[in-house]
């Protein structure tokens, strides 16, 4: 996505957004969190019904690979957006157990909480765990990756889909491998490791 180019030498700004709509549908639904000072997120929130939004071709690494394996969706912040479509697809078509682990700062920041709570209530093979870093919260706190040893029973037999802040993705990937997950069964977007400084 990009806002229209500004005057002078200012080139258009591009940002990746993941659809929350289901695969195979003829529409694209996005969940865009507005960040203070965010060039693209602010521009997107200023759009009106009927506006045309330019896009580039779809790309990315996240999509359900095997509907017969257990899955864990691990996300922080807006990294949740690709998990919405994948989790609902897996609940409709998958044959194993699915777990969502979602980290945010406060309860107010938990996007799609009602959706996932309803999924957990209606599907015995689906569990959701929220991890918060701030605020009054009786559940798990801190970093989502720190809770993985308590939440994962069979890392070797599970597919992991990871998206969020770069440090979490890199740390979680290393921890999952320490727990016995194969690198071939950990799927994350490709930009994370290069985004983390030494």
Ranges of each domain in the chain: 1-59, 70-195
Query: What is the predicted pLDDT for the residue at 130?
Result: 95
Cα 97 to chain centroid distance, Å, stands at: 18
Which residue stretches of the chain have pLDDT < 50?
1-2, 4, 192-198
Query: What is the predicted pLDDT for the residue at 20?
Result: 64
What tokens does 31 get?
Answer: 């969940």
Query: What is the predicted pLDDT for the residue at 49?
Result: 82
Query: What is the predicted pLDDT for the residue at 196?
Result: 43
- Let me know if domain 70-195 sits in CATH 3.20.20.70: no
Q: Give the contacts of 130 (CB within 8 A, at least 6 positions apart).
A: 102, 103, 104, 107, 110, 113, 139, 140
Query: What is the predicted pLDDT for the residue at 16?
Result: 64
CB 37 within 8 A of CB 46: no
Query: What is the predicted pLDDT for the residue at 56?
Result: 73
Buried b (16+ CB within 10 A) or exposed e, 87-116: bbbbeeebeebbbbbbbbeeeebbbbeeeb
Quick check: helix, strand or coil at residue 7? coil
Q: Which contacts of 175-180 are long-range, i.e. CB under 8 A and separated by 24 or more positions?
A: 175/145, 175/148, 175/149, 176/148, 176/152, 179/148, 179/149, 179/152, 179/155, 180/155, 180/156
Counting Cβ atoms within 10 Å, is residue 171 exposed (0-12), middle (13-18) or buried (19+)?
middle
Query: What is the predicted pLDDT for the residue at 121?
Result: 94
Query: What is the predicted pLDDT for the residue at 195?
Result: 47
């Amino acid at each position: 996505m990009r806002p229209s180019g500004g005057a002078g030498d200012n080139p258009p700004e591009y940002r990746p957004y993941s659809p929350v709509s289901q695969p195979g549908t003829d529409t694209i639904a996005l969940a865009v969190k507005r960040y203070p000072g965010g060039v693209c997120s602010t521009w997107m929130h200023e759009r009106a019904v009927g506006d045309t939004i330019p896009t580039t071709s779809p790309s990315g690494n996240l999509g359900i690979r095997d509907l017969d394996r257990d899955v864990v969706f691990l996300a922080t912040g807006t990294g949740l957006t690709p998990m919405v479509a994948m989790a609902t697809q897996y609940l409709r078509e998958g044959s194993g157990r699915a777990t969502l682990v979602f980290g945010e700062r406060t309860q107010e920041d938990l996007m799609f909480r009602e959706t996932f709570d309803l999924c957990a209530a209606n599907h015995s093979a689906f569990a959701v765990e929220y991890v918060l870093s701030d605020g009054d919260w009786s559940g798990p706190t801190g970093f989502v990756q720190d809770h993985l040893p308590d939440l994962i029973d069979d890392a070797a037999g599970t597919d992991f889909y990871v998206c969020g802040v770069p440090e979490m993705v890199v740390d979680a990937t290393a921890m999952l491998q320490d727990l016995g997950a194969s690198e071939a069964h950990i799927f994350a977007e490709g930009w994370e490791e290069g985004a983390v400084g030494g």
